[in-house]
Amino acid sequence: MSPQTQVARTTCTKKSYPTSAAAESFASELQRKFPDQARQSAYACEDCLGWHLSAMDTVSHGLSRANLSSHANPTWGEGLHKELQHQQTKIKELYAEYVKANGSAHGVFTSIARSLGLDDLYKINTIRHYLTGLGIHKPNQRQVENNQRKYNPTVASIEAQEQELERQLHEVQEKKQALIEAKALKIVNMVNDQQQPVVVIRKEGMSLAVSIEDAFLLVEKLEAHLAALPA
């Protein structure tokens, strides 16, 4: 690893790397050269701006740091789950990379969770709170207002919700009535292309047009047909 990839040390005396990718790259190189040694994991330093390598896995390292007091650990990520504290820089990197690649933050937390191997919704939400608290993530204002109305209802918001439900009910009732009418048997008087009066029988998109005389004949034949049916 070239000296350029290292960052200046501050209060930290450990070998540092500017990004998680640089640290992981060096760890991979060590693993290739010394396959019998334990694989080292990258973690964000709480005392400097860099990343370090440790034989302790990242979760265990984060838990060990989480046991320190807030006074001893001034860089504690507010709102972030204790098991994710060691990945603050990684989370920021993933957020920035996603927004740069996609042009917006839509879907960013799903992407971060996938990159970190997270499936715990609570932990994922703490990432949202953490980045929002830092001012890095700007929540959609409409979504925020919707959540506020959902979880902090007022009389006005409930009345608005009631009106919306009434509108939806009226719309459903109209659709129901339209469907009933579309399926109903209808008989109407009309005139054909020769301007002659006809009787039109309609049912679900099908229609039968007959002259007035044929309509009477149809009624007679229909009555005879029904009368001949077995009881």
Ramachandran angles phi, psi of 170, nearest 5° = -60, -40
Quote the CA–CA distance of 88 and 42 in Å, as a whole number.
Answer: 12
Question: Tokens for 66?
Answer: 């989480």
Q: Please state the rounded mean pLDDT for residues 33-52.
A: 77
Question: Tokens for 108?
Answer: 């960013």
Give the model's pLDDT for residue 168: 94
Quote the CA–CA distance of 42 and 87 in Å, as a whole number.
Answer: 9
- The string of pLDDT tens digits covering residues 148-159 is 666 666 777 788
3-state secondary structure (DSSP) of residue 117: coil
Domain boundaries, the chain: 3-149, 185-231
Quote the CA–CA distance of 44 and 47 in Å, as a whole number.
Answer: 9
Yes or no: say if 98 and 115 are a contact pair by the CB < 8 Å rule. no
- The string of pLDDT tens digits covering residues 64-96 is 544 443 334 447 888 999 889 888 888 988 999
Residue type, 135: G
Instruction: Say which residue the tokens 């029904």 belong to.
Output: 226
- The string of pLDDT tens digits covering residues 183-209 is 888 899 999 888 999 999 988 878 899
